Amino acid sequence: MRTFDEIFEIAAKRKGGADALEALLGQQKSTADLESVSDDRWLACMTKCIFQAGFNWKVVESMWPGFEAAFHGFDIGRCAMLNDDDFSDLVSNKAIVRHGTKIRSVQENALFVGDLAKEHGSAAKAIAGWPADDFAGLLLMLKKRGSRLGGNTGQYFLRFTGVDGFVLSRDVTARLIAEGVVEKAPTSQTAMAAVQHAFNSWAQQSDRSLTEISRVLAFSNG
């Protein structure tokens, strides 16, 4: 497995130099900023990522005001209490993407977010307080307790909310395979543990966030 500096050099050559690469890395939110995000916004981002999965992202984005109205601003209490009549109205609502199981996930994830709030004071505190060196554990928790939050959907949800972590895109996965971390796209807990170990090693070498490392890996291959 190459060192982080070696991978950074590969990525920098692809992107026009170190300064150009640095400009592409961005910054994740601080723990304090994350903890200030209200529960309804966590549910909203979950929902957007779920509806964008396997669908045209721009279409969902253009329809988003309709989603906000249809789900009452993603108020946790109201979404958790959706009834059969509400679902009937939602699946015929042309202001949103009419995908029955994804619509149902809004209620299921409202209950999930509500449970996190009961356990930790808010969903923000539960997620923001999760240690970065066990990001794979956070992904597993989302998959087990949330609805339709496994795989890349959970990863993109955390990326878009500003949580420090990695996204196992095609290019990141290709770099992990090239470095001998995994042999194929990681899906098992054993493979995810190997990915986490590699990211932790690169983080120790570089003193960079998992988000920055993830982006460098992506740019080193794409």
156-167 average pLDDT score: 96
The model's confidence at residue 115, banded by pLDDT at 50, 70 and 90, is very high
The model's confidence at residue 182, banded by pLDDT at 50, 70 and 90, is very high
Q: Look up the pTM and report it.
A: 0.95
So what's the pLDDT on residue 26?
80
So what's the pLDDT on residue 28?
77
Domain map (residue ranges) of the chain: 4-28+166-221, 32-131
So what's the pLDDT on residue 169?
97
Predicted confidence (pLDDT) per residue in 26-66, tens digit: 877 889 999 999 999 999 999 999 999 999 999 999 999 99
| 161 neighbors 45 (Cβ within 8 angstroms) | yes
Please provide the size of the chain in residues. 222
Which tokens go with 103?
């619509």
For the cut 90, the answer to whether the pLDDT of residue 153 exceeds it is yes
The CATH number of 32-131 is which of 2.40.280.10, 1.10.340.30, 3.40.710.10, 3.10.450.50?
1.10.340.30
The model's confidence at residue 123, banded by pLDDT at 50, 70 and 90, is very high
Calculate what percentage of the chain has a pLDDT beyond 70. 100
| Residue type (1 letter), 220 | S
- Pairs from 79-85 (Cβ < 8 Å, separation ≥ 24): 79/43, 79/106, 79/107, 79/110, 80/107, 80/110, 80/111, 80/114, 82/106, 82/107, 82/110
Which tokens go with 155?
């990863």
Rounded CA separation 51/57 (Å): 8
| Rounded alpha-carbon distances, angstroms, from residue 75 to 46, 107, 164, 196 | 13, 10, 26, 34
| 18 neighbors 196 (Cβ within 8 angstroms) | no
For the cut 80, the answer to whether the pLDDT of residue 136 exceeds it is yes
So what's the pLDDT on residue 29?
87
For the cut 80, the answer to whether the pLDDT of residue 8 exceeds it is yes
For the cut 90, the answer to whether the pLDDT of residue 222 exceeds it is no
The model's confidence at residue 13, banded by pLDDT at 50, 70 and 90, is very high
Tokens 């543990």 — which residue?
193
Close Cβ partners of 30 (under 8 Å, ≥ 6 residues apart): none
Rounded CA separation 139/142 (Å): 5
108-130 average pLDDT score: 97
| 123 neighbors 117 (Cβ within 8 angstroms) | yes
Q: What are phi and psi of 93, to 5 degrees?
A: -85, 110
The alpha carbon of 22 is separated from its chain's Cα centroid by a whole number of angstroms, namely: 22
The alpha carbon of 163 is separated from its chain's Cα centroid by a whole number of angstroms, namely: 8
Rounded CA separation 164/54 (Å): 24
